[in-house]
């Protein structure tokens, strides 16, 4: 019966052939093996990726970035259980609370560690590559109200297929198209559909993701990218009523804001995050901000034929685009 309970409590990893197996629940007498490790945060951060499981009292180290402070210390290992941080117990912390603590505890942190209580292994017996998993927390704020993540289901995995420029995911710089979502707010997502993962994220104000880097190609368009031609008309001197942004490493022009009483908002077809690739026959894929401003601000033009690319709303975790 105990063995059956044990099997039901194991953590799943990157995909079906990667699992984090729990040796056994952590009992009080195991505290005799605890040691304190002082970590000095470096320019790459702590480089510590953690998870939470009901079968383990504390938080589990599931991966260590090879250029982070924990790896360089040589004192923290995959499978270690952290039972306190700077003297504060982790036994009743949620994963969010533990991640927040590690982010805000200052340049130094003392970790109370029970070594190697959890076996983290792949099906072939090897441990994950040092940088294969990472933990990222995103927040919705007044300044950045959208996570800006699009998801797709591919070969039984939920993957990030695109990022909205200037969304929380894009600005954090730690999430990339192709990444596989392994866990969400401490819950493993294996077996969930893209729709279920989207629903779990959509109404949150913050989300903590455990991600696995997957360099394999994403599926072809498959209905993900929508192409549309939008024709807008304006009176002499009237503004189209939207602002835009360009990015050095991303072709096209992106709709940043829509003025409620503007021509574009009243028409209703142009949406936040749309990538404008052509206006009135002029290719904007490699245009800079000044060129776009001159084209859209042309006071002698009253008709604007705009070609846009849009990631389907079916893949977006945010509502409204």
Task: List, for residues 93-133, the tens digit of each pLDDT value.
Answer: 888 888 888 888 888 999 998 876 555 544 454 444 444 56
Q: In Å, how far are 120, 134, 144 from 48, measured between CA atoms?
A: 14, 8, 26
**Tens digits of residue pLDDT in 255-313:** 888 888 889 999 999 988 788 989 999 998 888 888 888 888 888 888 999 999 877 66
Q: In Å, how far are 50, 71, 92, 155, 254 from 287, measured between CA atoms?
A: 43, 43, 53, 37, 12
Locate 249 and state its tokens: 């490493």
User: DSSP strand E in 123-174: where?
Assistant: 133-139, 149-154, 157-163
**Tens digits of residue pLDDT in 206-262:** 998 888 888 788 776 544 667 889 999 998 778 899 988 887 666 788 888 888 888
**Tens digits of residue pLDDT in 132-176:** 567 788 999 988 888 988 888 888 899 998 887 778 998 888 888
> Do residues 254 and 165 touch, judged by C-beta distance below 8 A?
yes
Q: Beta strands 206-212 and 133-139: pairing type?
A: antiparallel
pLDDT on residue 264: 92
| Contacts of range 166-174, beta carbons closer than 8 Å, 24 or more positions apart | 166/245, 166/254, 166/256, 167/273, 167/318, 168/138, 168/139, 168/140, 168/141, 168/144, 169/138, 171/144, 172/136, 172/138, 174/134, 174/136
How far, in Å, CA of 81 to CA of 119, rounded?
11
Q: Beta strands 48-51 and 18-22: pairing type?
A: unpaired
Res 40 pLDDT > 50: yes
State whether residue 199 is helix, strand or coil: helix
């Amino acid at each position: 019966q105990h063995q059956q309970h044990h099997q039901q409590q194991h953590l799943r990893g990157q995909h079906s052939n990667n699992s984090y197996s729990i040796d056994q629940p952590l009992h009080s007498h195991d505290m005799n093996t605890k040691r304190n490790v002082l970590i000095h945060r470096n320019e790459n951060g702590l480089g510590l990726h953690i998870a939470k499981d009901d079968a383990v009292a504390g938080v589990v180290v599931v991966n260590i970035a090879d250029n982070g402070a924990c790896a360089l210390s040589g004192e923290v290992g995959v499978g270690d259980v952290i039972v306190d941080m700077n003297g504060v117990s982790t036994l009743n912390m949620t994963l969010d609370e533990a991640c927040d603590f590690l982010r805000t505890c200052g340049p130094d942190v003392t970790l109370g560690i029970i070594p190697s209580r959890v076996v983290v292994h792949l099906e072939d017996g090897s441990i994950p590559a040092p940088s294969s998993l990472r933990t990222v927390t995103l927040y919705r704020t007044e300044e950045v109200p959208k996570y800006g993540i699009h998801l797709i289901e591919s070969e039984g995995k939920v993957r990030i297929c695109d990022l909205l420029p200037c969304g929380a995911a894009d600005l954090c710089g730690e999430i990339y198209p192709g990444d596989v979502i392994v866990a969400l707010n401490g819950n493993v997502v294996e077996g969930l559909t893209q729709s279920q993962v989207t629903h779990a994220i959509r109404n949150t104000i913050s989300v903590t993701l455990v991600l696995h880097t997957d360099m394999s190609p994403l599926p072809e368009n498959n209905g993900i990218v929508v192409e549309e031609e939008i024709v807008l008309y304006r009176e002499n001197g009237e503004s189209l009523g939207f602002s835009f942004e360009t990015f050095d490493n991303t072709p096209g022009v992106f709709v940043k804001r829509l003025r409620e009483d503007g021509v574009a908002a009243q028409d209703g077809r142009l949406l936040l995050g749309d990538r404008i690739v052509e206006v009135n026959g002029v290719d904007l894929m490699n245009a800079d901000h000044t060129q776009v401003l001159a084209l859209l601000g042309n006071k002698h033009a009253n008709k604007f034929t705009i070609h846009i690319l849009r990631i389907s709303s079916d893949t977006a975790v945010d509502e409204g685009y």
